[in-house]
Amino acid sequence: MEVPLMDLKAEYQDLRPQMLEAMDQALSSMQLFLGPNVQALEQEFAQFCEVQHAIGCGSGTDACQLALEAAGVGPGDEVITVGWTFIATIAAIVHLGAQPVLVDIEPTHFNMDPALVEPAITSKTRAIMPVHIYGYPADMGALQKIADKHGLLVIEDACQAHGATLEGKRVGGLGAAAAFSFYLSKALGCYGEGGMITTNDAGLAERVRLLRNHGYTGKYDHGTIGYNSRLDEVQAAVLRVKLARIEDSLARRRHQAELYRERLNGTPLFVPPEEPGYRHCFYMFHVRAPQRDELVTYLQERGISTAQHYVHPVHQQPAVARYGLAECHLPVTEHASQEILILPCHPYLSDEQILYVAEQVREFYGV
């Protein structure tokens, strides 16, 4: 049996009539520059995230950078974040001339460890940027208390967390602003690149709108030096089709996660629990796996695709050595890089495929 890690072809075939109609309408109108689909998606995504403002941009990386810059982060500032993330989180900080300050993750859900944040604060600290890794919310309550105590902003890297909730509130509205990615693999992904910034701060939202569009205030008038980071109108049309179905998609992911939890019980795999008040979106189903590399080969030989995330954590990447990050002491992050395994989890997997994966895992460990 073949079990793909993701299946964009199956998704497209399922949504093809709606997709072709939406894209044709967008192209037929030739309003391709911040047109009706972008405007409608911004309103619909703001409603989905339960926030006042959502501003489309070119990518999740841009969303992180624009959110930070609109919040006032600039040269000489420090931003506290984690090393257990994609390098885009770090790139967004350094592109602003700011310094990333990395703290370790907690070992259960692999999110920012709040106990390590306050010791990392200096007179240069401007913001805290937690990453809702794999779609599980960081401890925003604890982080916001620290931020309030020290006069800092919390900017959510929610690029992996579309639809996740904490105490009944969607991520995207839990800090001063949040950044989302619409990369093709996300729980809400387009067929190219795209991103979104969400916030309840009208002033911050207006600064993002200026920054994403060259600081444009009127024809040939520019109020600030900005960027060319406009969400494509066709991608917005694609995203609107998918957003209309996202609740069903998230429900399917949760169902698969429950099947995994049930069938992997009693194996050596550590499956992170879902704590009270937290609701995972299961962008990815991740486990901590002893003998991970051997398990990967075993599953691959049986038609099951997996992924090993952040085998070389960001602080160990050559690209960040010049920023002093190679000297960071992140033992939990480094240990996770040796054991974290991503198992297939997406709306187009059948229960039979999930059970097959679990069966093969059990056979590998002999349980």
CATH code at 58? 3.40.640.10
Q: What is the pLDDT of residues 191-229, one digit of tens each?
A: 999 999 999 999 999 999 999 999 998 888 888 999 999
Task: Show the domain range for 270.
Answer: 246-365
Whether the per-residue pLDDT at 11 is higher than 90: the answer is: yes
Q: What pLDDT sits at residue 33?
A: 82
CATH code at 293? 3.90.1150.10
Average pLDDT over residues 284-297: 97
Question: What does the alpha-carbon distance between residue 33 and residue 231 come to, in Å, rounded to a whole number?
Answer: 8
Are 66 and 201 contained in the same domain?
yes
Residue 57 tokens, joined: 């941009």
Average pLDDT over residues 34-51: 97
CA–CA distances in Å: residue 232 to residues 69, 81, 262: 22, 29, 42
Q: What is the pLDDT of residues 67-126, one digit of tens each?
A: 999 999 999 999 999 999 999 999 999 999 999 999 999 999 999 999 999 999 999 999
Q: What is the pLDDT of residues 132-189, one digit of tens each?
A: 999 999 999 999 999 999 999 999 999 999 999 999 999 999 999 999 999 999 999 9
Average pLDDT over residues 224-237: 95
Is residue 133 within 8 A of residue 309, CB to CB? The reply is no
In the chain, the number of structural domains is: 2
Are 131 and 259 contained in the same domain?
no
pTM exceeds 0.85: yes
Q: In what order do the strands lie in the sheet with 165-166?
A: 169-170, 165-166, 278-279
Return the percentage of the chain with pLDDT > 70, whole number: 100
Is residue 84 within 8 A of residue 64, CB to CB? The reply is no
User: Phi and psi (nearest 5°) for 6?
Assistant: -150, 165
Q: What pLDDT sits at residue 117?
A: 98
Are 214 and 355 contained in the same domain?
no
* 313 closest CA partner among 94, 103, 76: 103
Does residue 3 sit in helix, strand or coil?
strand
Are 156 and 283 contained in the same domain?
no
Are 258 and 238 contained in the same domain?
no
